[in-house]
Structure 1
Amino acid sequence: MSLEHINRALVAHDLVQDLKWDAGLREEFVKDEAAVLDRYELTGAERIAIEERDFRTLYDLGFHPYLGAQFARILFASNTNGATSAVQHLLASIRGEPAPGRTETGGL
């Protein structure tokens, strides 16, 4: 992905920056993701991509690659595998593969 493709108007950028710097918001995001997302004027495509952890679609919309990596860490690095798990989830999404530990139907 080239940096020329970045859509600076994506509200998802603001969401990730806020999550990155605000521990309280991250905690709330874990407890009630929909309530946090409701506060941001995301496009329908942005919101669905976030809810589905679809980084490929986010990148296709113009999401900044640095923030994609940061978002993956926020979403997935809290488990026992840490950053390695976040990278695995990010790469699987970009490749269009099931998330690690999930079957094609989405079950664990």
Structure 2
Amino acid sequence: MFVDSGALRSELSLQACTMQPDGLGGFVEQWAEVATVFARIEPVAAESRFGAGQTLEAMTHRITLRRRAGLASGMRFAKAGRVFDILTVHDPDESGRYFVCRVREVGL
């Protein structure tokens, strides 16, 4: 897989979730920045679903970035108020140079 390094120009915040006790026996999600990465964001598909009296908009993207340790599904990227939940992470050509993440941006 050839990736032009100039295409990795979107600055994203990589975030991980931790569960913090809420004091009432439950937990609250807390998202913390793990790293700042540069990546290429490509829109793949858009969908609109109606349910429970409301329409939910979702957009699927492909995010390509340099390989880094600790990147996993369940984490997320953030950029200027937009949030991209990471669904899958894979090395497209198994060269160990890049990761391609399939992500979902919800609530556009």
TM-score, normalised to structure 2's length?
0.25
Larger strand fraction of residues: 2
